[in-house]
Amino acid sequence: MTTIYHNPRCSKSRQCLALLEEKNEDLEIVKYLDTPVTKEKLTEIIELLGIKPIDLVRKNEVIWKENFKGKDITDQQIVKAMCDHPKLIERPIVIKNNKAIIGRPPEKVIDIL
C-alpha cells in the first residue's frame, strides 16, 4: 500500500497522484486539509523523511510569515503549527514500505516505488 498526503488544489500533488495511478499503485489518499494529521503521525512522517520539521514547512504561506517566521521555536512547536495549520505542510508526501519522500518534483516518488 502506498499512501499519499494529497491536496487536490495543488498541481504538484495532482501530478504526483497521476504518476502513482499510472504505476498502478494500491493507493491510500489522505486529504490532509480535510482530515488533519495528528502530532504523532506527523512526527512519524518527518522521521521517515529523515528531515527536520522546519524542512517540511511551506515557508511562503501567509500563516507562516505572519505567525512564525523569524521566531525562535522548537521542533515540537513547528510540528504543532503544522498540525494546527495543515496548509503549512509541504506536499505531496508519499509513503511506501516505511520510506517517505516529498514529491517535488513529482518524479521523485519513483525512487521509493
Catalytic residue annotation: 10
Instruction: Check if the beta carbon of residue 11 is closer than 8 Å to that of residue 87.
Output: no
Total Cβ atoms within 10 A of residue 79: 22
Please provide the DSSP assignment of 91-113 as one string: S-EEEETTEEEE-SSGGGGGGG-
Alpha-carbon Rg of the chain, whole angstroms? 14
List, in order, residues 6 or more apart from 6 with CB less than 8 Å away.
Answer: 13, 16, 17, 29, 30, 31, 32, 91, 92
